Amino acid sequence: MNTNHIVSAALASVLAMGLTAPVAAQDKAKEKCYGVAEAGKNDCASLSGSHSCAGQAKVDKSADDWKYVPKGTCKDLGGKTAEEAKKK
């Protein structure tokens, strides 16, 4: 392996570590809320595995799809935690 590859890999690792810190901080202030995402506006994979990416919800307020909401507001929005959504 040449020196350029080693330097590139090290730089990529450092940059990736810097990008994960803001996400971790965001996760503490937010929680996953199932059943509140609008079609095409979910944050990630569905609970049932029907899709594996953000923005792929087909219908509004599907019990399988989730969105990050401010911590403590999910119930007020009519949503459920992952455990509650799994019980359907």
In terms of pLDDT, which residue wins out, 48 or 14?
Answer: 48
C-alpha separations of 12 from 22, 39, 81 in Å: 17, 34, 35
pLDDT for the residue numbered 50: 93
Residue 48 structure tokens = 């049932």
In terms of pLDDT, which residue wins out, 6 or 44?
Answer: 44
Measured between alpha carbons, how far is 74 from 77 in angstroms, rounded to an integer? 5
Full-model pTM: 0.66
* pLDDT interval class at 68 (50, 70, 90): very high
Domain map of the chain by residue range?
Answer: 3-87
- pLDDT of 2 > 90? The answer is no
